[in-house]
Structure 1
Amino acid sequence: MKLNTGTRVYRCVRCLYTTDHPLGLTLDGEGICSGCRIHEEKDTLDWGIRWDKLEKLVAPYRIAKGNAYDCIVPVTGANDSYYIVHLVKERLGLNPLLVTYNKYFNTPLGVRNLANLRITFDCDILVQNVNPVSVKKITRTTLREMGSIYWTCLAGQTVFPVQTAVRYKIPLIIWGAHQGLEQVGMFSHEHEVEMTRRYRKDHDLMGKEADDLLSIFDTLNEDDIWQYRYPSDSELDHVGVRGIYLGNYVRWDPKAQHEEMMALHDYRSTAFTRTFDCYDHGDCYNYMGLHDLLKLYKHGYSKVTDHASREMRHRRLTREVALGLINAYQRIDAPNAEKFCQWLDIDPRALQFILDQHRNPLYWSQAELGEWEFYSPHRLPEKASNLYKFPEPGFIATNPLSMGMQDRYITIGKGYP
């Protein structure tokens, strides 16, 4: 298929990812992408053997005394946190220290889920609250320079667990699934890839470490960015810090796992306007809003494509239904943008001007002032649109984001009534 500039990209015949995927993706001679090929391993690997490998891997980190932590588990009020803690605490029998980074875009639902998580599993938790003045300064810089309102969130979520491991001398960090493996098949499950500083910088942080944000042309200074610095190699080596991914040892299926946690541990979900998946990111007003819209502007696809491709790989969606879902959701306006403008003290028109600067010319062209044409890799011909009627694909929303409370960011939410 050709995009706006005539550039040709190719789409996987099995899912809806293209060769323009920002994480890098290849197609084989049959037109099947590397992500789908690695997904095939989920149906061929012996997961009993892989679980035995996991138990042997964590055994040396188990501490006999009851007054110490065996490992660190990064969590939020959404995503796979319940399932990760379930595996670590109830199946592996480890005593984890939970850690979480305060994104400042918190929803009442996310606060409720996080409080219920630590109560249900009876775990201690550390919360990092970076000075909100610095967070806002950094967000202004990354929004302007990188088209990201989420750099601080991604940086904090990926560095605070590592900093805590060094500070408390707890060498083992246990994460969920590896994004590069799950989406594009960057690695095999059998590679048993572990956490690295390089992957964090290149992909999570879009190539910018904290110190890379400092410039004589900007207002950021040392006091603003130091809490986002990754520990040095010598600090990591001294403690022996390593981060493992459970997705290498457990057959990862977010839909099934969330539904299990909803039944067992009262995890609660919510409906979104920009995707059909109700289970992820209910802790944040912006992830499925402005952050997702920026993804569409910069990369020509949004989170609904990730969700649809994942469900196609699990054989729960047909291509026709997936295309219908993408075209129904991806162009919907970002909800809650006014909250972000109020938080950052920016005019909505100024925000839209900045957002427009980050539209990728491969996918967008400006017809006239303020009006844009989108060249979607998944665009349906108008005459065919009626052929793509679809049912909702079986996701359950239990609560609204606001939970009936005041509909605004919760700056700090340590508990829940």
Structure 2
Amino acid sequence: MKFCNRCMYPENHALNLILDKDGVCSGCRVHEEKYSTDWSAKEQELKAILGQYKNRAGSSYDCVIPVVGSGDDFFVVDMVKNKFGLNPILVTYNTHFSTKVGVRNLARLITELDCDHMMSTVAPDIIKEITKVTLEKFGDMYWHVLAGSQTFPVQVATKLNIPLVIWGVNGWLDQVGMFSHHDRVEMTKKVRKEHALRGVDADALVGASEMITIKDLQAFTYPTDEQLEKSRVRGLYLGNYIFWDSQKQIEGVIEKFGYESHIQERTYNTYESIHCYNNASVHDYVKYLKFGYSKVNDHVARDIRLKRMNKAKGLELINQYLDVKPGTLEVFLDWVGLTEDEMLQYIDPFRDPTAWEKDGSGHWQCIGSVLDAGLNMTTGTELEVSDPREYRLTDLLEDQSGFNEYILLGRSYMDTRNYKAVEG
């Protein structure tokens, strides 16, 4: 296994990675664009684009913004509404895995930014069955979240005749440099299927279970080409037009809107993924069991590129979190109706043989971890640390010390009396 000499990403990255002659990955090379791009000109370009959608006749909304209540969501909505003057409708696909702090932050987002909001909640038993099927067929317990969150916003846009959906950062650009900032890649039906869903769309689930019908898959069925052509909807990434720095952005959101942060089981980042019990825990653990790296590698790579830490510190953090077995695993197994052995049997066929192998006793061993790579720490490609930062932990408005329950629905308005949904 080869690793990037700068950010230490592995060459088996699930989104595909290219190492150049210096051993530096495509993600690092595209990230370098952030320091040479004229972002003022980019912002003016964005302003001109958004201006085409303001105050359209016959519509109450200028754009759709997908949200879950993350810090990035606050940043996007604040910029779109308060800086560029658009009137957005916020939409949320219900993951069924919500945390208390996530529910509060979503309510805070809707309340503080004063926006209309729609949510899609699929029948719980159907979600459980889909999760079980996708875990067995594709080794993915998070398919429904990815499919639903990237389908519902476009469904709303086509049905309400809103031709613009605004997303935050392009993850495939930001992580592995699949695109350049200057490509101005937009979110499309093809991008969603090929990259977000790894080629597995809703039609792949038809007939996979007697419980799952075509009707049950409507929440995950993208609008037809005819619908898209009629509505002319486009998906814009803000990260193509502004210097995307999630940590700095969320620090501003904490100060401005009171965003709450929280510890994570499998990474040191206390800002992201905290709305969901499984994103940075069970889902991330499955990623590790398949590829030998996880979300802590993602965060280390990004913070190295942003000149916030060196490789030695990054390895220390990866060593601390990489193989942590999440405490939420038992909750997930009870929720989905599987034993741990059954889940592992589903995952085993999807383990990357360059990252995992069985020992003489038949137990799986990770052979592709960066921790065992014996990296050269001084290759001449490293970036000087110039902006070291720590992720903050804010005070929580209510206890979330346990990992023992998912929240299907929660409060939708925040004030000093109902942040805990108190009686009276």
| TM-score of the aligned structures, taking structure 2 as reference length | 0.89
2:313 corresponds to which residue? 321
Q: 2:391 aligns with which of 389, 395, 399?
A: 395
RMSD, aligned α-carbons: 2.3
Q: Is the 8 A contact 2:104 2:411 kept in 1?
A: no
- SS of residue in 2 equivalent to 1:243: strand
Asked if 1:409 is matched to 2:406, the reply is: yes
Q: Is the 8 A contact 1:143 1:354 kept in 2?
A: yes
1:337 Cα shift?
Answer: 1.2
Q: Is the 8 A contact 2:141 2:283 kept in 1?
A: yes
Please identify, of 115-124 and 81-90, the stretch whose mean Cα deviation from structure 2 is larger: 81-90
- SS of residue in 1 equivalent to 2:118: strand
Q: For residues 240 and 65 of structure 1, what CA distance do their matches in structure 2 show?
A: 16
Asked if 1:199 is matched to 2:191, the reply is: yes
Query: Which residues of structure 1 form unaligned runs of 5+?
Result: 1-8, 385-391
1:214 corresponds to which residue? 206
Asked if 1:150 is matched to 2:176, the reply is: no
Alignment of 1:337-356 (within 5 A): 337-356=329-348
Give the partner amino acid of 2:260: R
1:238 corresponds to which residue? 230
Please identify, of 17-26 and 158-167, the stretch whose mean Cα deviation from structure 2 is larger: 17-26
Please identify, of 340-349 and 169-178, the stretch whose mean Cα deviation from structure 2 is larger: 340-349
- SS of residue in 2 equivalent to 1:244: strand
Q: Is the 8 A contact 1:107 1:402 kept in 2?
A: no
Alignment of 1:13-412 (within 5 A): 13-63=5-55, 68-215=60-207, 219-367=211-359, 371-380=363-372, 394-398=390-394, 403-404=399-400, 407-412=404-409
Please identify, of 306-315 and 371-380, the stretch whose mean Cα deviation from structure 2 is larger: 371-380
Q: For residues 402 and 199 of structure 1, what CA distance do their matches in structure 2 show?
A: 39
Query: Which residues of structure 2 form unaligned runs of 5+?
Result: 377-387, 419-424
Q: For residues 381 and 178 of structure 1, what CA distance do their matches in structure 2 show?
A: 29
Please identify, of 369-378 and 110-119, the stretch whose mean Cα deviation from structure 2 is larger: 369-378
- SS of residue in 1 equivalent to 2:91: strand
Q: Is the 8 A contact 1:166 1:241 kept in 2?
A: yes
- SS of residue in 1 equivalent to 2:277: coil
Q: For residues 401 and 356 of structure 2, what CA distance do their matches in structure 1 show?
A: 38
Please identify, of 184-193 and 352-361, the stretch whose mean Cα deviation from structure 2 is larger: 352-361
1:380 Cα shift?
Answer: 4.1
- SS of residue in 1 equivalent to 2:252: helix
Q: For residues 337 and 401 of structure 1, what CA distance do their matches in structure 2 show?
A: 25
Q: Is the 8 A contact 1:327 1:380 kept in 2?
A: no
Q: Is the 8 A contact 1:271 1:400 kept in 2?
A: no
Give the partner amino acid of 2:67: V
Change beyond 3 A, Cα 1:226–1:185: same
Q: Is the 8 A contact 2:91 2:117 kept in 1?
A: yes
Change beyond 3 A, Cα 1:403–1:216: closer
- SS of residue in 1 equivalent to 2:69: coil
1:300 Cα shift?
Answer: 1.6
1:388 corresponds to which residue? none
Q: For residues 380 and 367 of structure 1, what CA distance do their matches in structure 2 show?
A: 16
1:369 Cα shift?
Answer: 6.0
Give the partner amino acid of 2:153: P
Q: Is the 8 A contact 2:3 2:370 kept in 1?
A: no
Change beyond 3 A, Cα 1:401–1:276: farther
**For residues 209-266 of structure 1, what are the alpha-carbon distances to aligned partners after superposition, in whole Å with 9 as ceiling and x for unaligned?**
1011123676532132122100011111111100100001110011111111011111
Q: For residues 404 and 32 of structure 1, what CA distance do their matches in structure 2 show?
A: 40
Q: For residues 150 and 275 of structure 1, what CA distance do their matches in structure 2 show?
A: 18
Change beyond 3 A, Cα 1:257–1:106: same
2:385 corresponds to which residue? none
What is the percent sequence identity of the aligned residues? 39
1:191 Cα shift?
Answer: 1.1
Please identify, of 151-160 and 363-372, the stretch whose mean Cα deviation from structure 2 is larger: 363-372
1:36 Cα shift?
Answer: 0.9
Give the partner amino acid of 1:317: M
1:25 Cα shift?
Answer: 1.6
Change beyond 3 A, Cα 1:214–1:112: same
Give the partner amino acid of 2:310: T
Please identify, of 128-137 and 106-115, the stretch whose mean Cα deviation from structure 2 is larger: 128-137
- SS of residue in 2 equivalent to 1:379: helix
Please identify, of 77-86 and 125-134, the stretch whose mean Cα deviation from structure 2 is larger: 77-86
Give the partner amino acid of 1:359: R
Q: For residues 319 and 36 of structure 1, what CA distance do their matches in structure 2 show?
A: 14
